[in-house]
Amino acid sequence: MIVLASSSPRRLAILRSHGVEPHVIFPEVDESLPAITTTADLEDALCSLALLKARDVYIRLQRGLCPIVDASHVVAADTVVFKERILGKPSDFEKAVEMLEFLRNSAHQVFTGVAVIDFLTGAERTLCDVSTVVFGDYTRADIEDFIHNEQPFDKAGSYALQGEWVRHVVQVVGDRENVIGLPWYRVKELLQ
């Protein structure tokens, strides 16, 4: 059985859409990222954070603090939106508006760091997947309507590709599921 070390309902939905019903355990770690100066630093930081999450759950399982039977792998991930700087989850309405105005009529990248720990051997593997998303034009009223309807405060960059915001997406280059939060086909390789 795969253990998903994540509180993200989107990651859970991605796994379920591929026929995987994981056991979910929320990691208990500080999820803040260090100051990032390059995209290579960002990839390393996301992989490190994902590994921190996976190790937290793995250790708790090993110590019997989270009862579970037949765990095969622990999977954790962290996703950020990047355009000149990291755009994390907005703290309030105005931050969400600011982010979406910043992304208007432009391309940005979505990075997801993933860590997988083999439960039996303790072997650790990581990867970082990158997708590019291009937004078209939209108004402040479009942004405000979206924020009121979708409540994007738990989403990096203030949007979800699978929600109503998709109508403003001109193009996605790379794995769409990576943009949602988990590049399943690359994760599947780590599990084999």
Average pLDDT, the chain: 94
Tokens read off for 183: 């590049």
Q: Is the pLDDT of residue 12 over 90?
A: yes
Q: What Cα–Cα distance (Å) separates residue 18 from each residue in 34, 109, 110, 182?
A: 33, 24, 21, 12
pLDDT tens-place string over residues 15-46: 999 999 999 999 999 988 887 878 899 999 99
Mean pLDDT over 125-133 rounds to 98
Provide the pLDDT confidence category of residue 4 given band limits of 50, 70 and 90.
Answer: very high
For residue 69, what pLDDT is reported? 67
Q: Is 179 buried (19+), middle (13-18) or exposed (0-12) by CB count in 10 A?
A: buried
pLDDT in tens, 68-110: 768 899 999 999 999 999 998 899 999 999 999 999 999 999 9
Lookup: tokens for 38: 């390059």
Q: What phi-psi label fits residue 153: left (phi over 0), alpha (psi between -120 and 50 degrees) or beta?
A: alpha
Architecture in CATH of 2-191: Alpha-Beta Complex (3.90)
Give the residue extent of every domain in the chain: 2-191
The neighbour count for residue 142, using CB atoms within 10 Å, is 16
Give me the active site residues, please.
78
